[in-house]
Chains A and B, each alone.
Chain A
Amino acid sequence: MLKFEPNQLFFYLAIYTVIVIIFIWIENRRIRKSLLGKEHEMQRRMYEVTILKELGDRIGYSLNVQKIVDVITGSLRKLLDYSTVSYLILGDDGRVIFHCVLEEPVNNNFIEVVRKRMIEALQTLSGRGIKTEEIDESVSGTISDETNKSPIKSFFNVPVVINDQPMGLLNISSTKEGLYKEEEMTILFTIMNQASTAVSKLENLLNQEKGKLNSMVESMADGVIMVDTRNRLLVINPAAKQMLGITKSGASIFDVLDVLSSKMDLRTKIEESIKTDRLTVEEQLKIQNIILRVLISPVKDAINQPLGAVVLFHDITKEKAIEKMRDDFTSMMVHELRSPLTGIRSIANLLKEEKIKNEQKKYQEFIELIVSNSASMLDLVDDLLDVAKLEAGKFQIMRKPTNISDTIKVRVQSFSSLAAESSVQLETKIEGDLPVFELDENKISQVFNNLLSNAIKFTTKGRIVVSAFLLKKGGSLLKKTTSLGMIWPGIKDFSPEDNELVLAVTDTGIGIPEDQINKLFNKFTQLEQSALSEKKGTGLGLVITKGIIEAHGGRVGIFSQVGKGSTFYCLLPYEQK
């Protein structure tokens, strides 16, 4: 058994204690160091997160690289020790931006060297040459100090890459030596990289959306231009260019203002619209042969800040033409009704006088005039009502089984004396064994009245043939008419897609020039023509005929040859039973 002296025991104990203390101290230091390292790591992570959040908050959906880099450089101090932080960025407009933030008062030469190194690096990175005169240079932060002769002792560059395109460089420089190790560079690189990735994604997304919007605006029939708050032209679509007669590709707002200068003050209107935050409308603007309605609408961003204005040019030439036709039609209608009415009133006044009663012949003549004029006015009113019903879609037909052959015979009979007066031979050509059709017989009679009275009006000493026959699906109209022994001047052969009942009136009259044919079914031109014509009638007969046939699900057409005659035909589809 070992025996210790008390002194000896104390000595050993003391040594042991010291060893334990040393051990604890060492261990403590080790732990502390590791904790510090972890804390540092945490701080770095925190910083990364903070700066990325800050980037997100401050940049929003901006695609402005400079703004992003500004945010990063502004908060870098928390992470790194440096004398200057600088960036060199390739701008959208071909300019190059150099900005240097001084954290310590270095001299101008220091900045100059930073700039030179960055230009060289960016030229290598981007493969494009950068000329000094292209660079917009600015310095901020502490003022420079020419007495400080310290040169750059440590520095590093971080590239700014958006969508695989090098867009610029970030540079950190210091007068102290050996300041930047891999760790510092990695942090900044990571941050830059994450920001770049976010911007790249956003840019792709925006480009896609922009592409959709662009193709929509490009293909719009309305003219669209957009200007910013400084009156710069941002967008002009092809329709706007065409309407305004601008042919060059890089049009500016001045080209637009030039075209409009004598007609409207677009600039003032745009400013007014932005200022009052209201839609401004110019109802009618005439440029060459077109009439435009111009709408100016302010454009704001998500937080209600004005971005500019959109100007929309809507072509209203057709609407205006229709409006004018409608006005003309109304005044024509008033004329057509008013003239005979004035006459009737005057004649009736004359009839009131005593002495006219002694002139038997004149008395009779006046009465006749009143009768015939009031009858034709009534016809016109009836026709106008029919046209109004047709247009309002209130024209109704009542179908019942109709023997079309009988209908035609009755109509032809009623026109025989009128035809004889004009020395016109009136004939029928009705295919045998025609089935019974479901038609509105009264309305179909009205069609024959219209067609026959027209044919007689425009034929003297000739022949009028009223025909009715079936044209089977896929059959030839020309073959059919020929087989029935008819010649239709100006006929163009066709085959129907359904079985059709063909009703036609062919004359050997004056014929109709090709360019006049379409006007025959237009109420506006018809009423106008009738006022200028010696022939009696409202001119609306064909408009009504077309309406009646279309109400039956059919269609009308005209074949004509000037000097030879015309055929007015109706095609009525039927189902074979």
Chain B
Amino acid sequence: MSEGWLLWALLGWPVAGILPCLALRSPRVNLGWTSCVVVAQALLASAVIRAVWIAGSLRMGPVLFVDALSAFHLGVMMIVFVTSTLFAPSYFRHAIESGEFTPWGARRYAALWLGALAAMTLVLLSDNLGLMWVGVEATTLLTAMLIYVHRTPASLEAMWKYLLICSVGVAFAFMGTLLVAAAGRGTQDALTWTHVRKAAGMLDANTLKLGFLFLLVGYGTKAGLAPMHSWLPDAHSQAPAPVSGLFSGFMLSAALYCIMRYVPIVEAATGGTGWSLRLLTFFGVASILVAGAFIVSQRDVKRLLAYSSVEHLGIVALGIGLGKVGLFAALFHTLNHALGKTLAFLCAGRLGQHYGTYDMTRMQGALRASPLWGAGLMICVLALLGAAPFGVFVSEFLIVKAAVEARATWTLVLLLTGLAIIFIGALRHVIGVVYGLPPATPAARRPGPVEVVLVVLPLAALLVLGLWMPDGLRRAIEEAAAVVGGKP
């Protein structure tokens, strides 16, 4: 356990990185510094992941603890963070040049961005369920101001809704956390996950069930599961593209990760009857269907992508609910969705800047107007819809397989119906955006090499994951799935 200090470093580094941000004057330098901090954090994170890979878990003191599940999510988080942080300078270039993105704005943006990184790291590293909650609530508060970077009335409205709905929702999760602690009254350290997990059989099952309901509603609000998703399309559509990418790519998954932590506890305490799994299945299917209904009639491309996030988080929840293969598929899907959705938001953001609107009926011929972003959006959406050679296809296929194996006929029917509706509905909109003749607008700026790499790399990764799964990744996901699936 000599690498324990790494966990402190992982937690402290982004916080330390905030200080220089507040001193830097030039917005560009500030964004550059943020990128440096995030990349260094990614290196630290990979060291942690490597240590977990070797030792199985990593602990530092009574509160910091990383096992296969959190290490996996740590990896996903760093992919999302690195992509969207490196993308920020090109996204804000215009705003910086026009003076809309002031030095103060940049300082605030950078500080909140790193603060969000620290808070999400806390969620993943914390062994204490209470601290995990503190981390989730902190992400809500720190990211709220990020929505209001573009100072429009609509973004203000979105920020307020996000702030209030998520705060209240997450407060319910706190209640759930307390109830879980109450269920474990008498046992030592009733809030420490590793202890609760071991003593799960001795917990009071009814109190625990009540607590899980609160947790599911609370963290489910943050994860955007229907019907608690109402803040999600507003916040995603009004936030700047890197923030939307971060929200969709990882923040939602972080909330779902919290629910995953509780699933094995509830299952062990209720004797493996699958009570919590059925709830997750229900919310998962509901999310897929609700998202489908809204996607068909959507006009705003970022809202379309936001509802697609509701759908994908629903798929992940469904996967967990189905168990076994489904669990493996759910975690794999988390990774695929993070790769695809972050990039999709970035592409949509750049296209929106080019057209001056996110209304899909007025964005046409993206492939000609801006080949890189147009193609990027097209391929991302295709991949996210589950088209064949990409990673999402594999994970969705595995979930269908899990449903078949579990003989969950109705779930399967609803899932396939939902996916079909979304496939047709979303593709219809996006084809309209990508093909056709662009309106007479000045030609887009030629993308720089960094931007090309940022688009090509995730797409390549999605493609590779669809065709070939590396043994290392398979083992990592299997171990993470075992944490949720109930290997004590």
* Bound together: no
Q: A interface vs B, CB < 8 Å? A: none
